[in-house]
Amino acid sequence: MPRPITIAFDVMGSDHGAAEVVKGAARLTLESPGIHALLVGDGDEIRKALEEIRHSGERVSVHHAPVFITMDEKPSDALARKPDASIAVATRLVRDKEADAVVSAGNTGAGVLACARHFQLIPGVRRAALAAVYPTQQEHGEKHDPFSLILDVGATVDAAPDDLVAFAVMGAQYSKVISKNPNPKVALLSNGVEPQKGPPRVVEAHQKLAALPGIRFSGNVEGLDIPKGRADVIVTDGFVGNVCLKMLEGVAETVVDLARYAYKSKLRWRAGLAMLSSGIKRLKSITDWEQYGGAPVLGFDQLFIKAHGRSRSKAIANAGKVAAKAVSANLAAAIREGLPR
Amino acid sequence: MSLPDRIDPPPPKRIYRWDLDKTYLKTDFDTLRQLVRTALQSADQKVTVPGAAALIRELRERGDSRLCIVSGSPKQMRSVLEEKLKLDGVEWDELILKDNVRNVLRGRFRALRGQVGYKLPALLESRARGPAEAEEILFGDDAEADAFIYSLYADLLAGRVEESVLLKVLEHARVYDDDRQRTLAAWKKAERADKVRRIFIHLDRLTPPARFSVYGPRVIPVFNYFQAALVLMADGVLSAPQVVRVAVEMVQGAGYNLLTLANSFQDMIRRGHPLQELAHPLVEALQAPNPIMNAMRPVPDIIAAFTKRLSVLGAPPPPPRPVQINYLELLDDARPRNEKDKDLEDDEDEDE
């Protein structure tokens, strides 16, 4: 019998409290019999939450770690002051082979820093990257996902050309494993599609990626190509990636606000929106970020999935499934294989 | 000195009462197709809940107990069920099945699904027939109304429930008049004694354990029979090697492993059952030179897994406190399963 995969859930620090993360992990134990959940956080809170929800008691264990880092704390200071914070304990448990991957909806910076302290970078990777999925016009991979992957979105602010090349390999391997996309199209984000466009590090990365075997590099894309989904994986540095991601989120929220405004303003507009409602619902369901659970931190020998702070149980459970899928496919080894020698 | 003409066996010290479907047997009859398939299964096609057969064999090992099975399965299945129990090496004293043909012929359709009007008189009549001094340990599941019926049965025997309450329960459960009379008669015949020690509820449907807290600490929801065996070891009913034999059957026959057993152990401690003291005798039992224990090697890994689960749990919660069960407030628990299923689905829909 294959050894079950254990996912360590940092249950503390999410916007909806420990109970919601516990609920997500419990849901995972019901939906995926091959996955175990190791819940790291306040033992008493976890116990109370578990007692009230359906779960498989045989596939859940608890590691008491009541201290946690809040969203507004500075990661480096907080981790120094709270070495036994739940996020640090969860990553240590993965390092010590008590679990196979971490899922956390807590402080992103603290999560990335905890990975840096407790995990090893894959040989050939100098910097880690935080990858995020975003909805696109085009579908991708065997599963026809209306999502692309963008990385880095905040782990490494200054990325050298070699870092961008490593990000491209990491993103492509992740897309192969998770989106079942056997040959993902990888692009570099720049201010023009021509190879010589962009700052020197982007131009140099372009040259290196164009010469790298085993990767389907399609050249540069511009910002407008991101939502169109012209590539399966878009590579950029953490600064630009974070700005892009926030802008995409801002645009989506603004569209929703405008629709609300329209709904309230005129009866005719309201009627129009009502007629469109089933289509809007369908669109919302196929672009539901919760089905992807979270953003993986790539580049380490162990996997860390950062779930959105606002994640509900469905997103947490899906983050656990994504983590388990990456573990069973041995994502770290696949990345190591794909890196330039 | 002359020898007596015959030597009667000593009266049983303990009575174990088991339900069958979803408690002892893995049964699906939520749809008509599943119901038909279950009815047509041969004995060797029926699947035992992991650890159930081993637990019964260990409980019966000393020969000072009775096994009484009260099941809602129809009488027509008796030969198949008896064959299945024999295949599992389980010896029973009573096997009470439901006379559904008679119910249909008499037009008593409520009785086909009703549990209270069938099980409660059956339990009380069985008790009235048995030795008054024997303690009882009951095994049911979360699919029907076992926690409610078993608790009511225990409190009726203990004299903690008034007749007016029993009548209201029977009325709410829409029990037919003759079954009401049977229930009252059997209750009046049974000796008043507080003899039910434990009620184990197998969480076949993974009902949240907290839903059973209204029944007090006597009712113990368990995810598997290793957990029940641990509690019975703490109660002095089973020895450590017997608990290990239950675990061995689960490992060999149902794919349980070190993680699932260690998690099950931690789950019980998390729920306030003081089982920490069991670790040492269990370790000793595992280290004994016994070929059956080979399924549980390497022992150091087992010890490490169990002690780790204990050490990382923080302060264990206090044991569950006794409660006064208000049966009239819990009448909904006595409803047929299909109605409760709808409630559970509604709860889950709300979570979406």
| Per-domain residue ranges of chain A | 1-125+299-341, 248-282
Chain A residue numbers touching B266 (CB-CB < 8 A): 61-62
Q: Which residues of chain B lie closer than 8 angstroms to A57, CB-CB?
A: 203, 209, 223, 227, 263-264, 267
Cα distance between residue B169 and residue A99, in whole Å? 49
Residue from B312, B351, B352 to probe the interface with A (highest A Cβ count within 10 Å): B312
Domain with CATH 3.40.50.1000 in chain B: 14-222
The answer on pLDDT for A2 being more than 60 is: no
Structure tokens at B281: 């005798």
Q: Which tops the pLDDT comparison, B44 or A249? A: B44
pLDDT band at A311 (very low <50, low <70, confident <90, very high): confident
AA letter at B166: L
Amino acid residing at B203: L
Q: Which CATH code for domain A1-125+299-341?
A: 3.40.718.10
ipTM of the shown complex: 0.86
What is the pLDDT at residue B322? Answer: 80
A3: pLDDT strictly greater than 90: no
Contacts of B90 (CB under 8 A, 6+ apart): B53, B56, B57, B60, B67
Is the Cβ pair A66, B271 closer than 8 Å? no
Residue with tokens 């169990």: B306
Per CB-CB distance under 8 Å, the chain B contacts of A3 are 257
- Closest Cα in chain A, distance from residue B54 (Å): 19
What pLDDT shows up at residue A338?
Answer: 86
The confidence score (pLDDT) of residue A145 equals 75
Contact B314 A59 (CB under 8 A): no
**CB nearest to A313's CB, from B213, B266, B351:** B351
Query: Band of the pLDDT at A1, cuts 50, 70, 90?
Result: very low
CB contact under 8 A, B207 and A54: yes
pLDDT at B273: 92
Nearest chain A residue to B318 by CA distance is A44
Give the residue-averaged pLDDT of A266-291.
71
Chain A, residues 154-193, CB within 8 A of chain B, namely none
Does A140 contact B at CB distance below 8 Å? no
Residue A259 has a pLDDT of 80
Alpha-carbon span A337 to A331, nearest angstrom:
10
pTM check: above 0.90 = no
Residue owning tokens 């990888």: A186
B14-222 maps to which CATH number? 3.40.50.1000
- Among residues B242, B233, B244, B227, which one has the least CA distance to residue B296? B244
A314 and B352 within 8 Å at the Cβ level: the answer is: yes
Which H, E and C letters describe B225-255, residue by residue?
HHHHHHHHHHCCCCCHHHHHHHHHHHHHHHC
**In angstroms, what is the C-alpha Rg of chain B?**
21
Residue B34 to residue A340: CA distance in whole angstroms: 56
Q: Which of A86-90, A176-180, B326-330 has the highest mean pLDDT?
A: A86-90
H or E element in which residue A207 lies: helix A200-211
Mean pLDDT of A193-204: 92
pLDDT value for A290: 62
CA dihedral A16, A20, A25, A28 (to 10 degrees): -110
| A1: contact with B, CB 8 A cutoff | yes
Beta bridge mates, B25: B21, B48
Mark yes or no for CB contact A51/B208 under 8 Å: yes
- What pLDDT does B342 receive? 56
| B62 to chain A, closest Cα gap in Å | 30
Ranges of residues in chain B with a pLDDT under 50 are 352
| Range with the poorest average pLDDT among A162-171, A227-236, A288-297 | A288-297
Distance in Å, alpha carbon of A56 to nearest chain B alpha carbon: 7
**Contact status, residue B243 vs residue B282, Cβ threshold 8 Å:** yes
Give me the DSSP letters along B35-94: HHHHHH--GGG-EEPTTHHHHHHHHTTTS-EEEEEEEEEEGGGHHHHHHHHHHTT---SE
Choice among A291-295, A297-301, B180-184, B300-304 with the minimum mean pLDDT: A291-295
Q: Which two structure tokens, joined as six digits, stand for A80?
A: 């120094």
Tell me how close the Cα of A294 comes to any Cα of chain B, in angstroms: 18
| Rounded Cα distance, A34 and A31, in Å | 9
Instruction: Give all strands of the β-sheet with A185-189 in edge-to-edge order.
Output: A60-64, A35-41, A5-10, A101-104, A303-307, A294-298, A129-140, A145-151, A233-235, A185-189, A216-221
Q: Do B270 and A50 touch (CB under 8 A)?
A: yes
Q: How far apart are CA B287 and CA B295, in angstroms?
A: 12
Place of tokens 């290196």: A208
Residues in Cβ contact with B182 at an 8 Å cutoff, skipping those fewer than 6 apart: B121, B125
* A50-87 pLDDT, tens digit each: 999 999 999 999 999 999 999 899 999 999 999 999 99
Are B26 and B50 within 8 A, CB to CB? no
Phi-psi region at B285: left, alpha or beta (left = phi > 0; alpha = psi -120 to 50): alpha
pLDDT tens, residue by residue, B14-52: 999 999 999 999 988 777 777 777 778 888 999 999 999
Structural Rg of chain A based on CA atoms: 20
Mind telling me how many Å the CA of A58 is from chain B's nearest CA?
A: 5
Q: Compare CB distances from B206 to A51, A54, A62 and report the shortest one's residue.
A: A54
**What does the pLDDT read at residue B299?**
73
Q: What are phi and psi of B199, to 5 degrees?
A: -130, 110
A61 touching B (Cβ < 8 Å)? yes
A&B contacts, CB < 8 Å: 73
Nearest alpha-carbon partner for A174 in A218, A210, A224, A122? A122
Question: For the segment A92-135, what is each residue's pLDDT rounded down to a tens digit?
Answer: 999 999 999 999 999 999 999 999 999 999 999 999 999 988 87
The answer for residues whose C-beta is within 8 angstroms of residue B271's C-beta and 6 or more apart is A47, A51, B209, B317, B320
Contact B62, B253 (CB under 8 A): no
Nearest Cβ partner for A47 among B206, B308, B317 = B317
